[in-house]
Structure 1
Amino acid sequence: MTIPPIEASQRIREICTLAPIVPVLVIEDVATARPLAEALVAGGLPSLEVTLRTPAALEAIRAMSDITGGHVGAGTLITPEDVRAAKAAGASFGVSPGATDELLAACEAENLPLLPGAATASEAMRLLARGYDMLKFFPAEASGGAPALKAIGAPLPQISFCPTGGVSPSNAGSYLALANVLCAGGSWVAPKDLIIAGDWAGIEALARDAAQLRKGA
């Protein structure tokens, strides 16, 4: 039984409304995964995206999947094999930089709610026609930033976005102020140096600051 795209988008919407920022995580050492997740959730960021860019990523998802109050997703889903591996590792949702018919079909077949990427009105319209109305705007800054996303929202008000790519504390507020933005994805809340140092209190503090970002901030 496949998950209908409209139902998948509703689940993604629920995940995206839990906090204004979704941490985008690149995990090199699986031993850091659980304390990292605990620090981010404690700081008020329960929705976590672990990118499949490192050999440790799937094991990291597995280690983080049962964190109390956390929702762990797999990012950088490119192929159906990625989808199946992410689901087997315990991911509760997926994120992709773009979308192909094969990727969408795999997520639907695996009952893995997907936040598919789109950077243009045509891409967004194509996904909407399939039933997806909650999308990732990527790469956000390189695609024109908040002004571009605002412009896309004018003719397509039924689509909501999570902008990711170049989002930082200095520009997150401009995205969150948009009517068609539910949250934004950012990596600054889990900097590599703090992860290597095991500075979980420092990461929790960054998460707490990010969790205070609100629309119009």
Structure 2
Amino acid sequence: MTIDYAQARENMVEQQVRPWEVLDPRVLSVIGSTPREAFVDEAHRELAYADLSLPIGHGQFMMKPVIEGRTLQALGIQLNERVLEIGTGSGYLTACLAQLGQSVHSLEIDPTFADAARTRLAARGLGNTSVETADAMAWQTDARFDAVCVTGAVAEIPSRFLEWLAPNGRLFVIHGQSPVMEAALLRGNVNAPQADSLFETDIPYLVGGEPAPRFVL
């Protein structure tokens, strides 16, 4: 069976993403034109536009399209802005961010994921992206970014994520304890960030972002 991916993409936007209050025209345009199937393993390609978290290997998953849409809308990336992504994964969200902003630097702890994402992004001609194999929990940089996008959950928000924000920068992060986590947008400095609660969800933890083990007597 031949799948009409263009029609599937349109259906995803109109039946999933837009009804979940994603109304930003730039975000809808990017999601509606970026071939999600090109970032999905062949075994799952026919489900590329389903309302599902698709496995990408090593126990990791692509976020549902609706969550990706809300993430992009919350960050409100402008054409002149530099973005830091924590957790490249398949590279799909990287591609969307790159089309909205000036540049995207993405950190990926798994070298296999990083290599695959570089290949996919290059195939799309997205030369304003860079993927670095690194552990975000130990990464060091003097660079500052207008937006930081965290694609995996954290039990507690690391202060280092806020330190990477430029003045007036925004951090999107999903935090808390599974099965009820909070998606939030944080602004301001590391000592007194302003947080807006966006929605509740449940996604896999970022490597290193899991809750500390609890010992029960």
Q: Same fold (TM over 0.5)?
A: no
- TM-score of the pair, normalised by structure 2: 0.32
Greater helix fraction, Structure 1 or Structure 2: 1
Q: Using structure 1 for the length normalisation, give the TM-score.
A: 0.32
Between Structure 1 and Structure 2, the one with more strand by share is: 2
Higher RCO (C-alpha under 8 Å, 6+ residues apart) = 1
